Amino acid sequence: MLLKRLIVCLDVRNKKVTKGVRFRDNIDLGDPVEMAKNYSLSGADELVFYDITASAENRPIDLEMVRRAAENIFIPFTVGGGIRSVEDMRAALLAGADKVSLNSLAVRRPEVLAEGARAFGRQCVVLGMDVRKNPDFPSQYQVVTCGGRHPENLDALEWARQAVELGAGEICLNAIDTDGVCAGYEMTITRLIAQNVSVPVIASGGAGEVSHLADVLTTGKASAALVASMVHTNRFTCAEIKVQLAACGIPVRMA
C-alpha cells in the first residue's frame, strides 16, 4: 500500500514565511529556512516553498533561499513562484530543489509542461492549480491565476487532464474557497480530479484538524495533504498529525 504524504507549505514574501486567509490579510511568521528545518526534523515528508510575490513583481524566484533550504533540510522540496521559463526551472533545480511548481506560466504557455518534462523528467514538474467554485463551468470549478486575482476561462478538470497529458507529474490542487479557513479541504473537486488523472494529487487549502486530512486522504482520494496554518500556529506538530493519521488506519511514514 502506498504511503500517504504530509507536506508543509511555506508561502514566502520578503524573505519571511507568511500566511493569509483566501490569499488575503497575510501576516509574517518567521524565517523560511529555519521553519523548514524544524518541519523536516518533526516529521514532514516534503516541503513546498512558494515565492508568492515573485510573479507579481516580475522577478525570478529567490534562488538564495532555495540554496539555503537545500543545505539545511534532508527531505524533498518543491519551489514555485517566479518561474518564467525552462531556464528558470533548471536554475531552481540546480540550486537544490527537487521539483518545480508551475501555475500561471503553465496556463499562459501550456507547452512549458512538456518542455520541462523532456528536460528534467515529469517527476520534477508539478502543476500548481488554484481553483474557485463557479457553476458556469462543467466541473463547477474555475481555474484562477496570479495569486487568485485573475479568473481564467478554463475548467479545472479539463485543465488538470490537459496538464497531465502534456507532462505534469503531480498536481497540487489549492481551493481558494477553503484556503486558510481551517474548516476542511474542498472535497468535491479534489476527489473529481484525483479520480480522473493518472498522477498523484496533493490536496491543499483548508486543513485545520487531523480529521480533515484523514477525510481528504481517504474519501477525497488525495495522495498527499498539504498543511500550513495548523502547524504554523503550533497547534500540531507533523509527528502528532502522523500519529493520529496512523491511528485512523492511514498508511504514513513514521520517523
State the total domains in the chain: 1
For residue 33, is it within any domain?
Answer: yes
User: Comparing C-alpha atoms, which of 188, 189, 179 is closest to residue 157?
Assistant: 189
Mean pLDDT of the 87-115 span: 97
Residue 22: which domain range? Answer: 5-247
Amino acid, res. 147:
G
Q: Which residues contact 177 (CB under 8 A, 6 or more apart)?
A: 22, 132, 133, 186, 205
Tell whether the model's pLDDT for residue 95 goes beyond 80. Answer: yes
What tens digit of pLDDT does each residue of 155-214 get?
Answer: 999 999 999 999 999 999 999 988 878 889 999 999 999 999 999 999 999 999 999 999
Active site members: 11, 130
Question: Which CATH number fits the domain that encloses residue 133?
Answer: 3.20.20.70
CB 196 within 8 A of CB 161: yes
What is the grid cell recorded at 127?
Answer: 502543476
For residue 254, is it within any domain?
Answer: no
For residue 255, is it within any domain?
Answer: no
Over the chain, what is the mean pLDDT? 92
For residue 202, is it within any domain?
Answer: yes
Mean pLDDT of the 24-41 span: 81
Q: Rounded CA gap, 71 and 87, in Å?
A: 22
Q: What is the pLDDT of residue 19?
A: 65
Tell whether the model's pLDDT for residue 152 goes beyond 90. Answer: yes
Share of the chain above pLDDT 70, in %: 95
Tell whether the model's pLDDT for residue 10 goes beyond 70. Answer: yes
Q: What is the pLDDT of residue 21?
A: 53
For residue 222, is it within any domain?
Answer: yes
